[in-house]
Amino acid sequence: MAALAMEDVASGKDAIAEGLLDLLKPSVQQLDLHVHSMRESQVELREHIDNLASELGRINEHQKVALDLDPYVKKLLNARRRVVLVNNILQNAQERLRRLNHNVAKETARRKTMLEASGAFITRSSSKP
């Protein structure tokens, strides 16, 4: 009787854990996709900033009238630096999210194995007279 009560508690906890996993997994995957697309956008933006900065440098060299484009180039390079910083933050967050997802899947598999093993043990012990 006590074995059945423990089985109910264990299966209840595992059901809650599995329910939470099923609830969170789509959100985690969607967040991962958004972070990935954001990182791609950041890389593309960084490339555009680099191209624009080099183009402004070329324009500045070929101008007959001396225009001071250096402040604009500096602003672009500062924006590029911030884009790289945000990209690094996103990369770190995505890596943590990937590790969290991996750990959750690993823990779920471990609990399923434990539950199946305890279910087999309880089935054997309850079949004995």
What is the full per-residue pLDDT of the chain (129 aa) written as tens digits?
A: 544 455 555 567 777 777 777 887 888 888 888 888 888 888 898 899 889 888 887 887 777 666 677 788 888 889 889 988 988 998 898 888 888 888 888 888 888 888 788 776 555 555 544
Query: Which helix (H) or strand (E) covers residue 84, if one does?
Result: helix 70-127
pLDDT of 9: 58
How far, in whole angstroms, is CA 111 from its chain's centroid? 23
